A and B are shown apart, each in its own frame.
Chain A
Amino acid sequence: GAVVSQHPSWVICKSGTSVKIECRSLDFQATTMFWYRQFPKQSLMLMATSNEGSKATYEQGVEKDKFLINHASLTLSTLTVTSAHPEDSSFYICSATLRGNQPQHFGDGTRLSIL
């Protein structure tokens, strides 16, 4: 149980393109979803916390207009990287929890490469 699906797993696109990443909880309702960015051989850096039906809470230094997060239902959150540039290339990971203080269930991650 507690499966989180993240799609796509890998995307390569041109600079200036907007890219949408989906995070779905397949067998449970996730009240909270998290979006992380992970650089090679480094830890996960929290980008934002997304609660269903409300605006995402962004971490300091993360541009809200650059990384648009939508959590329209209890099973789906999306991260849109707008007007992506090469410096946005990274590994993006989502996670979901049934309740805030429960362990997170992670998606497989999305490798984003901007040319």
Chain B
Amino acid sequence: AQTVTQSQPEMSVQEAETVTLSCTYDTSESNYYLFWYKQPPSRQMILVIRQEAYKQQNATENRFSVNFQKAAKSFSLKISDSQLGDTAMYFCAFMILNTGGFKTIFGAGTRLFVKA
């Protein structure tokens, strides 16, 4: 079964500090893509960062970076210099190619509160 586990339902961080959101996944596929999406209170999902499983180098996007451990099937998100606008629901997801096409499986999400 393909699953994504986000073990932290809620987290909080002080503005300007660093926070790490954890994510583990389970798949028998060797080639897949990993994503972190953000869903602010306004509801629209936004891509935060993307990682191809065949790449060993961890993806970075400004203040956002990942720690991708393929053997451990771990894909954590680090947010540096947290800002109030980072308050949102964060979903970890992976995408595989199956018979019906590409399919994305989402974790349950981590609600992040950035405090002033």
Contact surface of A with B, Cβ cutoff 8 Å: 32, 34, 42-44, 46, 49, 51, 57, 91, 93, 95, 97, 100-101, 103-109
Contacts and interface: CB of A to CB of B under 8 A. Distances in A.
A75 B107 CA distance: 28
Contacts, number: 51
Contact of A106 (B45, B100, B103, B108): B45
Interface of B: 33, 35, 37, 42-47, 50, 91, 95, 97, 100-109
Contact of B47 (A46, A91, A103, A109): A103
5 contacts: A43-B106, A43-B107, A46-B104, A100-B101, A101-B102
Contact of B101 (A32, A42, A107): A32
A101 B47 contact: no
Contact of B35 (A43, A57, A103): A103
